[in-house]
Amino acid sequence: MVTVTQRGCSSVSSSVPLAGHCAACGLRELCLVEGLSAAEIDRLAGMITNRRRLKRGEALFRAGDAFNAVYPVRLGFFKTCVSVQTGLEQVTGFPMPGDVLGFDAISTGAFQCDAIALQDSEVCVVPFERLETLSRQFDGLQHQLHRVLSREIVRDNRQMLLLGKMRAEQRVATFLLNLSKQFAQRGFSSREFVLRMTREEIGNYLGLKLETVSRAFSRLQADGVIAVDQKQLRIEDLERLSQIAGAGCPVH
Amino acid sequence: MVTVTQRGCSSVSSSVPLAGHCAACGLRELCLVEGLSAAEIDRLAGMITNRRRLKRGEALFRAGDAFNAVYPVRLGFFKTCVSVQTGLEQVTGFPMPGDVLGFDAISTGAFQCDAIALQDSEVCVVPFERLETLSRQFDGLQHQLHRVLSREIVRDNRQMLLLGKMRAEQRVATFLLNLSKQFAQRGFSSREFVLRMTREEIGNYLGLKLETVSRAFSRLQADGVIAVDQKQLRIEDLERLSQIAGAGCPVH
DNA sequence: CGTTTGTTTGAGTACGGTCAATGAATGTGG
DNA sequence: CCACATTCATTGACCGTACTCAAACAAACG
């Protein structure tokens, strides 16, 4: 895993001109690279001419911005949120390393949501036109692109089920389990991790108020299911957490 | 394997061997065909070797079914729903002519949701491997495919906002407005139309109980915003309906 | 014509939201 | 380094929206 040390500069985001090294990237299993041949990976990496670093709180893009590229997350943590004129705002996801940001923009050529860094982060800049060109030449890349797009649709559908049908505690339990699985996929501890987002952001994502999230955490802790200390979270009883979540896996 | 349950209809679906005539299809503006050159349309149409007709209540596919093709709707009305083992079920959409069914299946090679015909319907069968092959040759088709996929992501994000943030009456008003716009796009009346789905299916889609949907309808009718008689619906005051859908009670 | 399915409406309830107060953590500038 | 401000989190009391349960009715269907 590549670690990027941030100097204590208070500047805004910097563009990092640097050829992508997808073959060496620890996120191969998740990003656009999954399942590609060595030759395909080389060509994809050659296309990534720069990366972008963001400070906490900074926007990678905002709804309405012109669409040129998609952004695989290399490092850090984001939130994406859609909103309507009236001020309603919905957090639609918490992208983490390996996830790709920006696919919502293909349909209209402008981003449809905001993407905000929840901590200092780094993304690859993948010019979308060149990605389309390359995926016309390599069917492996083409199919992987389709799979990543499809995966996002499936994830959204599951979130709709959570928002439409689950009760508060069940939503929170499902959220923690999903986080846990995602950390496991990325080689981090699935049992203990840091919640990069606030209670309010969690609540927004889950269709709950922050107080309800806090109460759910307290209750789960009182029952010995989790141990939570501010943003630090440990799963004490995975079995029971899964029960509460309702074995929230899709049926086949 | 999943069994296909049929509700109250005796005949199964029929396959209709027939070359697609995309150029002549009234849904050109919506389907995969949008923005393609005549040559591209011809090639796409040549790939569609058959269609499929479904009776009301019949499943086009079920979660777990093997994925081979995507299905542009030619005629009729569908619902798609995801579920979990515990029995929770969420309606994720009501695809209508011009919409394309099945993109959720690309990610795993198996469908992730059920697609049920709400009335006698007809779809084109587009073998997905051939669609990928063709979209490697025609960048117009490739880009349109990406746009359709992206559009589904955007729509899902908006539905997450509805489910996470809106109040009951606001959800119902938004639902009716969306339907109205979709009918308009397809050349039907945007002011008066038939609700092809039951109150329960609407409620499921909107994260509400059927009684709540019914009450919302009654209230909107009492206020002179809509006129509803069973499945027949007429929008009486579009301005006010938009207000209710958009200008919900300011949360903050 | 009877049965099933779908819709409307009412009464009571519960879950999560609202409001409010307190405290902890983080960050800033003197 | 500390004082202060700000953000974030927890907890309690109360309230309101949407759910639950129930009954009556309408429509669709065999």
Residues B153, A156: C-beta atoms closer than 8 Å: yes
pLDDT digits (tens, 9 = 90+) for B132-163: 999 999 999 999 999 999 999 999 999 999 99
Whether any strand C atom is under 7 angstroms from the Cβ of A167: the reply reads: yes
Q: Is the pLDDT of residue A194 over 80?
A: yes
pLDDT digits (tens, 9 = 90+) for B164-192: 999 999 999 999 999 999 999 999 999 99
Could you identify the residue written with the tokens 């059920």? B114
How far is the CA of A231 from the CAs of A58, A196, B209, in angstroms? 20, 7, 35
Q: DSSP per residue over B26-80, as a string? A: TTTTTSTTTT--HHHHHHHHHH--EEEEE-TT-EEE-TTPBP-EEEEEEES-EEE
Could you identify the residue written with the tokens 């025609």? B138
Residues B160, A156: C-beta atoms closer than 8 Å: yes
Domains along chain B with CATH numbers: 14-162 (2.60.120.10), 167-247 (1.10.10.10)
Please state which of the ranges A44-58, A191-205, B5-19, B177-191 shows the lowest mean pLDDT: B5-19
- Residue A207 gets the label, from left (phi > 0), alpha (psi -120 to 50) or beta, of left
- Which among A89, A99, A104, A153 is the top mutation candidate for probing chain B, defined by the most B β-carbons within 10 Å of its own β-carbon? A153
Cα A92 from Cα A63, distance rounded (Å): 13
Instruction: Measure CA to C1' and name the residue nearest D28.
Output: B8
Assigned token pair, A230: 């501010």
Query: Which pLDDT belongs to residue A6?
Result: 39
Q: DSSP per residue over A115-139, as a string? A: EEESSSEEEEEEEHHHHHHHHHH-H
pLDDT digits (tens, 9 = 90+) for B62-71: 999 999 999 9
**pTM score above 0.85:** yes
| CA-derived radius of gyration, chain B | 19
Q: Is the pLDDT of residue A166 over 90?
A: yes
- Which among B34, B62, B107, B114 is the top mutation candidate for probing chain A, defined by the most A β-carbons within 10 Å of its own β-carbon? B107
The CA-based diameter of chain A, rounded to the nearest angstrom, is 56
Query: Which pLDDT belongs to residue A20?
Result: 57
Give which of B54, B58, B36 is closest to B45, Cα–Cα: B36
Residues B112, A157: C-beta atoms closer than 8 Å: yes
Query: Which pLDDT belongs to residue A117?
Result: 96
- Residue type at position A178: N
> Distance (Å) from the C-alpha of residue A160 to the closest C-alpha of chain B?
6
pLDDT grade, residue A30 (50/70/90)? confident
Whether any strand C atom is under 7 angstroms from the Cβ of A211: the reply reads: yes
pLDDT digits (tens, 9 = 90+) for B70-129: 999 999 999 999 999 888 999 999 999 999 999 999 999 999 999 999 999 999 999 999
pLDDT digits (tens, 9 = 90+) for A196-238: 999 999 999 999 999 999 999 999 999 999 999 999 999 999 9
pLDDT digits (tens, 9 = 90+) for A107-153: 999 999 999 999 999 999 999 999 999 999 999 999 999 999 999 99
C-beta of residue A101 within 8 angstroms of C-beta of residue A57? no
Q: B86: which chain A residues are within 8 Å (Cβ-Cβ)?
A: 246-248
Assigned token pair, B57: 């209540």
